[in-house]
Amino acid sequence: MSFVDQFLREHFEEFALDRYGLGSGWETLLLTPRFTTSRHVVALVFPARGSEPALVVKIPRQPGDSSGVRREAAMLDQLSAAVDSPGVPRLVGIRDEGPYTVLVETALTGIPLDPRKVAADLPAAVAAGTGFVGSLPCTHAATDNPDWYQRAVTAPLAALERLAGPDAQTGQLVERTHELLEPLRAARLPAVIEHGDLSHPNLLVKPGSGLQVMDWERSLTDGVPGHDLVFYLQYLSESSEQAFARDAQVAAFDKAFGPGGWALDPLSRHLGTRGVEASLLPLLVITTWARSTATLADRLAQETEADPSQGRDKVRAALQADRDYWLWRHAVTAA
């Protein structure tokens, strides 16, 4: 019996797993994401003779690395009260098992919104994403969010600089970013619920239910308006252009967000619903890629702590390979 199966049996009554179609038996499919920065092992749990999963179980790869699953559990708990949408998983339970924290949530089902499906109907994909992002609530009014820039931009970029160590290229990019974003620093923006990773394989579509969004481990309750939509529209542009190499992804960015870019209109309309001035749109695009790159600090911190010299080399290598870093650098250079 696997660790996941044993855990579910021990917590069967506590989590009322019979509500999800699980009886005395079920099937477990273990998934192992291959991304360098992936922090978790994922298991899909199917009812006996069922064709669709009922539950998802997440376990940190490293003992003690529980911040991701705890953040996701807290977010799902909040979303269940704030968002009446079938496109968000529901929290079933979270418990510590020795050095590991195990998260159980409901599974989402549908057709993957992969690059091929996006390319087949780009307008439908745009509509699904703008609808979903627009449904995520504001958590603080602009007047109640005075320190948003320090929290959402300055602190994450400082953490990334510390993790990368003495790296002139990163330091110069951070410095130039803050210079460009100076008008944004003084702007009043509301805080919003932010997923942080709206791209394949986290997206499903289901007829009549709209976009289904998984993996909330990078989510925030005090996110920045437009971040999720910029991230999502870039994914759509790459998919539409079949852009999988870094240079091609930069070109897809220019088609979407450059002068006359097709993504500017849906992004502008979304920001308008959040009460954000249109003049701030280009700066929020830069902000998205700076902040998204900075999440590497959290995801790679353990490697650096274990071996600072080797860990920093890995961080720098991860930066140079990271798509978000390429887009951040390009957006700053083009500004």
Can you read off the two tokens belonging to residue 262? Answer: 């097709």
- CATH architecture entry for 111-334: Alpha-Beta Complex (3.90)
Superfamily of domain 3-106: Phosphorylase Kinase; domain 1 (3.30.200.20)
Contact partners, residue 201, CB within 8 Å, separation at least 6: 112, 114, 214
Count of C-beta atoms within a 10 Å radius of residue 323: 20
Contact partners, residue 44, CB within 8 Å, separation at least 6: 28, 29, 31, 53, 55, 56, 107
* pTM higher than the cut 0.85: yes
Instruction: Parse the chain into domains and list their residue ranges.
Output: 3-106, 111-334
Compute CA distances 297 → 71, 100, 302, whole Å: 16, 21, 9
Can you read off the two tokens belonging to residue 239? Answer: 């998919």
Please give the Cα distance from 286 to 187 (Å, whole number). Answer: 15
Helices 122-135 and 227-241: crossing angle in degrees, nearest 10, is 170
List the pLDDT tens digit at each of the 335 positions of the chain: 589 999 999 999 999 999 999 988 899 999 876 555 567 899 999 999 899 999 999 999 888 888 889 999 998 998 887 777 778 999 999 999 999 999 999 999 999 999 999 999 999 999 999 999 999 999 999 999 999 999 999 999 999 998 888 777 899 999 999 999 999 999 999 999 999 999 999 999 988 778 999 999 889 999 999 999 999 999 999 999 999 999 999 999 999 999 999 999 999 999 999 999 999 999 999 999 999 999 988 777 666 665 666 667 778 888 999 999 999 999 999 99
Q: Give the closest residue to 123 by CA, choosing from 131, 135, 112, 134.
A: 131
Count of C-beta atoms within a 10 Å radius of residue 1: 9
| Contact (CB, 8 A) for 40 and 33 | yes
| Contact (CB, 8 A) for 212 and 204 | yes
Region of 46 (left: φ > 0; alpha: ψ -120 to 50; beta: rest) is beta
